[in-house]
Amino acid sequence: MKTIVVPTDFSPAAENAARYALHLAKGMQAGIKLCNAFLVPLETPMASQVVWPLEDYTSIKYETTEELKIFAEKLLEEEKVFNDNGPYHPVVEYISEVGSVADVVADLAEAEKSPVVVMGMSGAGMVSRFILGSSSRKMIEKARFPVLLVPAKFIFNGVKKIAFATDLSSGDIDVINSITGLAQPFNAEILIAHVTGETYDKQEYQHKVDAFLNDITGKINYPKIYYRHIKSMDVDHGLDWLTAHGQIDILAMVHRQHSIIDRVFEGSHTQKLARHIKLPLLAFPIGHQQII
């Protein structure tokens, strides 16, 4: 059975992301695993001057595990309420581990062969506190798995259309193939979106688009894939328009260096998408191979 990994610090944003993950798991017939990571003084620069009793570690481990257990039970009760009388009910597991969020989540996602890690955003482009900091941002930057960032107040209302922002590079074909694994259980459309400036060589552009779409047709067997060209002053404004007017439920993209995802983490006051994004953002690592 597939397992969706859901890091949590028990904040409202993290809890909302877990509820979203539960809906996804139900549609994908997967389970979810809640995880909480905590650090110990032995991992700090002053570790040589600190003696931390084993009892304290045991106490923290017990307390976080109990809190995870309570939240897991709460999610299962909520699932009964929104259950559509379907035969499948997701399994909700939980684990508490010592270490950085980045390391704990990466190890768990690899062990579970997780199709996606679901995390919470606190809104207005600011990421929930449990993924703040260099180690957690490093997880997003170097993750070998897709990470779905869910805004704090976003309410799951099905997955009917997933937009994938592409630069038409050949490596994006594998990402689109992976997205079909998320779209198919919900019978969702996949919108391939490419943003260009107002001026471009139309003949050269059309040749590139045709080659890319032919590649998709030859390699991906999913009938609900569509293409849209968006002309805008820059990529940021084009994606902002797409999220506002494209009637999409998830925006997916590859996390390349200096991408829009970086600006989401920075809480930019100059980029509209980063400041106002209200949709789940699905980030794929470069060179991603299909696991969904």
How high is the pLDDT of residue 235?
80
- Based on the number of CB atoms within 10 Å of its own CB, is 187 exposed (0-12), middle (13-18) or buried (19 or more)? exposed
Long-range contact set of residues 269-272: C-beta below 8 Å, sequence gap at least 24: 271/236, 272/236, 272/237, 272/240
Beta bridge partners of 230: 195
Instruction: State yes or no: pLDDT of 162 exceeds 90.
Output: yes
Higher per-residue pLDDT: 264 or 173: 173
Looking only at the bridges linking them, the beta strands covering 161-165 and 189-196 are parallel
Question: Taking residues 86-91, what's their average pLDDT?
Answer: 87
Residues 6+ apart with CB under 8 A from 38: 60, 61, 64, 96, 97, 98
Among 109, 113, 142, 164, smallest CA distance to 281 is for 164
Q: Which CATH number fits domain 161-284: 3.40.1260.10, 3.40.50.620, 3.40.190.10, 3.40.50.720?
A: 3.40.50.620
pLDDT for 200: 80
Mean pLDDT, rounded, of the chain: 82
Residue 131 has pLDDT above 70, yes or no: no
Number of C-beta neighbours around residue 223 at 10 A: 6
What residue type is 201 in one-letter code? D
DSSP state of 242: H
Q: Which two tokens stand for residue 142?
A: 């170097």
Single-letter residue type at 75 = L
Q: Indicate if 161-284 has the same CATH topology as 3-151.
A: yes
Cβ atoms 105, 255 nearer than 8 A? no
Measured CA angle at 158 (ends 275, 15), to 5 deg = 60
* Domains in the chain: boundaries: 3-151, 161-284
Q: Say if residue 124's pLDDT is above 90.
A: no
CATH fold for domain 3-151: Rossmann fold (3.40.50)
- Calculate what percentage of the chain has a pLDDT beyond 90: 47
225-257 pLDDT tens trace: 999 999 988 887 888 888 888 899 999 988 776
Answer positive or negative: Cα dihedral of 194, 196, 198, 201.
negative
pTM of the predicted protein model:
0.84
